[in-house]
A and B are shown apart, each in its own frame.
Chain A
Amino acid sequence: MGHSNWPEWIYVAVVVALLCYVGAEAWNIENLVEHVPEDAEVIKVTGQQWFWSFEHEDGTKEIGELHLKKDHAYKFEITSKDVNHNFNIHEYVVLLDAVPGQINTVWFSPNEAGEFDIQCREYCGLIHYNMRALLIVEDV
Chain B
Amino acid sequence: MVLELKKARPVWQIMFSTHHTDVGLMYLIFSILAMFIGGAMAIALRVELFAPGAQLIEDSMSFNRLFTTHGTTMIFLFLLPSASAVGNYLVPIMVRYKDMAYPKLNAIAFWMIPPAAVLVWLGMADFGWYANPPYSVISSPAPAAEMWIFGLKVLGVSSILGSINFVVTILKCKHPDLSIGKVPLLAWSFLSSSIIVLAAMPTFAAALLMLLTDRLGATGFFNPAVGGDPIAYQHLFWFTFHPEVYVLVIPAIGMMYEIIPRFSRRPIFSQGSGIFAFVMLSLVAFASWAHHMYATGMTFTEKTVFMIGTLAAVPASAMHVFNFLATMWNGRIKFATPMMWAVGGIALFFAAGAGGVVNSAMPLDFITHDSYWVVGHFHLFVFGTIAFGTIGFIYYLFPYVTGRMYNEKWGVVHFILVFVGACITFFTQHILGLYGMPRRIYDYPEIDSWIQMNALISVGAMIMLVGMGIFLANLIYSSAKGKPANLHDPFGLGGKYYYPYEQRNPHH
Q: Does A25 contact B (CB under 8 A)?
A: yes
Per the 8 Å Cβ criterion, residues 253-278 of B in contact with A are: 267, 270-273
Measured CB to CB, the nearest residue on chain A to B444 is A129
How distant is the Cα of A121 from the Cα of B366 in the complex, in angstroms? 11
User: Is B314 in contact with A30, judged by CB distance below 8 angstroms?
Assistant: no
Q: Give the number of residues in B that approach A within 8 Å (Cβ atoms).
A: 58
Contacts of A117 in B (CB 8 A): 436, 445
Contacts of A109 in B (CB 8 A): none
Q: Does B4 contact A (CB under 8 A)?
A: no
Per the 8 Å Cβ criterion, residues 113-132 of B in contact with A are: 126-128, 132
Minimum Cβ distance to chain B for residue A95 (Å): 5
User: Is B443 in contact with A82, judged by CB distance below 8 angstroms?
Assistant: no
User: Is B322 in contact with A104, judged by CB distance below 8 angstroms?
Assistant: no
Minimum Cβ distance to chain A for residue B301 (Å): 11
How distant is the Cα of A36 from the Cα of B295 in the complex, in angstroms? 17
CB-contact partner of A23 in B61, B311, B443, under 8 A:
B311
User: Is B318 in contact with A11, judged by CB distance below 8 angstroms?
Assistant: yes
Measured CB to CB, the nearest residue on chain B to A25 is B361
With A82-B138, A93-B367, A100-B134 in contact, is A23–B300 under 8 Å at CB? Answer: no
User: Is B134 in contact with A8, judged by CB distance below 8 angstroms?
Assistant: no
Minimum Cβ distance to chain B for residue A87 (Å): 10
Interface on chain B toward A: helix, strand, loop, or mixed SS?
Answer: helix
Contacts of B369 in A (CB 8 A): 86, 95, 121
Contacts of B326 in A (CB 8 A): 7-8
User: Is A19 in contact with B296, judged by CB distance below 8 angstroms?
Assistant: no
Chain B residues at the A interface, C-beta cutoff of 8 Å = 60-61, 64, 126-128, 132, 134-135, 138-140, 224-225, 229-231, 267, 270-273, 295-297, 300, 303-304, 307-308, 311, 314-315, 318-319, 322-323, 326, 357, 360-364, 366-367, 369-371, 436, 438-445
Nearest 6 A-B pairs (CB), nearest first? A90-B436, A101-B224, A104-B297, A26-B361, A129-B441, A83-B135
Q: List 28 A-B contacts (CB under 8 A).
A: A5-B270, A8-B270, A8-B323, A12-B315, A22-B357, A26-B307, A26-B361, A27-B307, A30-B362, A30-B363, A33-B363, A82-B134, A82-B139, A83-B135, A83-B139, A84-B230, A93-B366, A93-B367, A101-B229, A104-B296, A121-B439, A123-B64, A123-B132, A123-B135, A125-B64, A125-B139, A125-B140, A128-B440
